């Protein structure tokens, strides 16, 4: 029984972290909150018996993406402390609605019994391990991944390159 309560706790943690990322005033803390969400997600995925994916998620999302965001923030001129203070006040005017909507939606979903008429697919007998699925069945996706990575490299090369002096400043 405690498994379910654990799930509830982890999911609640993840949702709270997500809301925190959205509501948080300063950008830096928002990125940290995002990393927290990612960590919570990893925990949930462990619960859902998807360990490899969880580790991958943790290392890439929590790690790499946070780094990307940090560097972008570093490259851009962050607001001074005072500016962030009065900025957060004005922000609040726009964001107070989110928790209200979420509370309403949560209670509505809890209250109404959603018809679960569909039946889930029967579980496979041969418990294939992760490796051969990825390589035998999903080769096409692998090729896709290679393509995406190549495109990503070009993207980074084109976009992040400092503008060299002779380039026309249009």
Partner 1 sequence: MSWTLVVVPIIAVILLNLPFGEGYRKLAFPAGIFLAVLQSALVLLPIENMFPYGACPLSPFVFLSPDALGLLMILSVGIVVFSALLVGWRMTDKTSRKSDFANLIILAMAGMNGVILSGDLFSLYVFLEIVAVSSFILIAMDKNREALEGSFKYIMLSAVATILILSSISVFLMLTGSTSFSAAAAALKQGNHAAVLASGLFIIGLLIKGGIAPFHGWLPDAYTSAPAGVSIFLAGIVTKTTGIYTIIKLVSYVTGYTGPVKEILLFFGAVSALLGAFAALDQKNFKRMLAYSSISQMGYVIMGLGAGNPLGVMGAAFHLFNHAIFKTQLFVNSAAVEQETGTLNMDRLGGLSDKMPVTGATSVVALLSTAGVPPLSGFWSKLLVIVALWVAGYKIYALIAVFAGVVTLAYLLSMQRRVFFGNISASFSNIKEAGVSFTLPAVLLSTITIAAGVFFPYVFEKLIIPVQALLGLL
Partner 2 sequence: MTQETAQLLRLYIVFLPLIFVAGFYCVITTRNLIRTLLGLEILTKAVTLMLALAGYLTGRTAMSQALIITLIVIEVVVIAVAAGVVLNIFRHNNSLDARNIRSLKG
Task: Select from 51, 99, 106, 152 the one that contacts partner 1 (CB under 8 A).
Answer: 152
Task: Select from 81, 158, 162, 165 the one that contacts partner 1 (CB under 8 A).
Answer: 158
Contact in structure between 39 and 61 (CB atoms under 8 Å)? no
- Residue 15: CB minimum distance to partner 1, A: 17
User: Footprint of partner 1 on residues 69-128 (CB under 8 A)?
Assistant: 115, 117-118, 120-124
- Residue 133: CB minimum distance to partner 1, A: 11
Q: What is the C-alpha to C-alpha distance for residues 145 and 141, in angstroms, rounded to an integer?
A: 6
Contact in structure between 149 and 155 (CB atoms under 8 Å)? no
User: Which CB atom, from 96 or from 160, has the smaller least distance to partner 1?
Assistant: 160
Q: What is the DSSP letter of 169?
A: -
Contact in structure between 58 and 42 (CB atoms under 8 Å)? yes
Q: What is the C-alpha to C-alpha distance for residues 41 and 37, in angstroms, rounded to an integer?
A: 6
- Footprint on this chain of partner 1 (rule: CB under 8 A): 115, 117-118, 120-124, 136-141, 143-148, 150-152, 154-155, 157-159, 163, 167, 170
């Amino acid at each position: 029984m405690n498994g379910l309560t654990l799930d509830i706790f982890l999911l609640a943690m993840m949702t709270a972290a997500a809301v925190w990322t959205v509501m948080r005033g300063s950008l830096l803390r928002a990125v940290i909150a995002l990393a927290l969400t990612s960590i919570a997600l990893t925990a949930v995925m462990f619960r859902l018996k998807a360990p490899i994916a969880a580790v991958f998620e943790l290392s890439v999302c929590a790690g790499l993406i946070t780094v990307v965001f940090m560097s972008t923030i570093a490259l851009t001129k962050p607001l001074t402390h005072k500016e962030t203070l009065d900025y957060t006040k004005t922000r609040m005017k726009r964001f107070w609605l989110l928790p209200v909507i979420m509370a309403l939606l949560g209670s509505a979903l809890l209250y109404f019994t959603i018809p679960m008429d569909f039946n889930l697919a029967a579980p496979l007998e041969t418990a294939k391990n992760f490796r051969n699925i990825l390589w035998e069945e999903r080769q096409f996706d692998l090729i896709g991944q290679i393509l995406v990575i190549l495109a990503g490299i070009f993207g980074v090369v084109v976009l992040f390159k400092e503008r060299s002096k002779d380039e026309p400043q249009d």
